[in-house]
Structure 1
């Protein structure tokens, strides 16, 4: 049920990020800027680590960073609740909505986009590692 994986560096990156986002939504708006900074840092780190800017973990971090940047203007900051709640879900339960969304992009899937695929992608149980790793086991 719980997927707290404190032995993984990526877990710590996300943990620090979600703590910063939590301080941001609690009223300390500098937390948003720090979260953007750590996300940009981990994006670069994973691009170097994976030796590819198109690797799936890099794509997830890129789109997560885009979401954080879209939410940065004050009138848009209500959006920060989405990655805050979603990242807590990732950290505690291993459910990453952003990874699931990114897995549906045309260059990341081999089957046609359909309602069934979307439902299977978003409503399957969390998997250890990347959701792209073994789509045949999704939902088990």
Structure 2
């Protein structure tokens, strides 16, 4: 898939979350709708729910929904920081945490593996291909 399309989805998400924080009433609903579309798009392209790209988008969407519950609005702040870290530094903490799931790793879970996954410098491509 064209990396520009991937980036555009995340840029629009960041802008819509910023609009939400600026009290635009449609910011969050549009961010959720955009992420539903993104999830469906990636699920159709990858044809597997086991794909890390699909799982990242599903988890991000779930966190958007979770943040709408009373008292959980800070989740959206964490997501905003995370999506901007992805856009600026190509570092996705959510993808790195999901890469630690048994379906994505070929070695036992250990403190050393967690440290390596979290501290590996950002680089193009999936984190799982560099483990």
TM-score normalized by the length of structure 2: 0.92
Contact 1:20 1:31 (C-alpha < 8 Å) held by counterparts: yes
CA distance in 2, matches of 1:113, 1:25: 37
Distance 1:93 1:130, change over 3 A: same
Among 73, 91, 98, the alignment partner of 2:94 is: 98
Alignment partner of 1:58 is 2:92: no
Runs of 4+ in 1 over 4 A off after TM superposition: none
CA distance in 2, matches of 1:101, 1:34: 26
Among 31, 37, 41, the alignment partner of 2:33 is: 37
1:29 deviation in Å? 4.5
1:7 deviation in Å? 5.8
Map 1:111-122 → 2, pairs under 5 A: 111-122=107-118
Map 1:117-128 → 2, pairs under 5 A: 117-128=113-124
- Number of the residue aligned with 1:138: none
Map 1:18-33 → 2, pairs under 5 A: 18-33=14-29
Structure 1 alignment gaps of length 5 or more:
1-5, 136-140
1:109 deviation in Å? 0.8
Q: Whose RCO is larger (CA < 8 A, sep 6+)? A: 1
The alignment of Structure 1 onto Structure 2 pairs a total of residues equal to 130
Alignment partner of 1:47 is 2:80: no
Aligned-residue Cα RMSD (Å) equals: 1.6
